[in-house]
Amino acid sequence: MALTFATLWVPGALMALVLACWRRAADLSYAQKFAIDEGPFAHWAPWAALAFALGMLAQRLNRYGRSVRF
């Protein structure tokens, strides 16, 4: 079960990283306007923190899932 959830968290982490990069590029005028204009997720740092947290969660779930004996 842990390996299933770890597999699902990896694409979420990558998507959050893409959104962080898009927001940062929009701030530097390298990309088009970011889709979210207001609120806490209108900045790049929450997206980067979310990507880091989801990546760490996926890594720990993978480690736990591979260590469980059936």
What is the structure's pLDDT at 70? Answer: 61
The DSSP letter of residue 32 is: P
Q: Between the CA of residue 14 and those of 41, 58, 69, 70, what are the distances in Å?
A: 16, 11, 29, 31
Is the entire prediction scored with pTM above 0.75?
yes
Nearest to 56, CA basis, from 5, 20, 9: 9
CB 56 within 8 A of CB 21: no
What is the structure's pLDDT at 13? Answer: 96
CB 58 within 8 A of CB 9: yes
What is the structure's pLDDT at 29? Answer: 92
- State in Å, rounded, how far the first CA of the chain is from the last one: 12
What is the structure's pLDDT at 3? Answer: 87
Q: What domain range includes position 35?
A: 2-67
Total domain count, the chain: 1
From first to last of the 70 residues of the chain, give the pLDDT tens digit.
Answer: 888 889 999 999 999 999 999 999 999 999 999 989 899 999 999 999 999 999 999 999 999 988 866 6
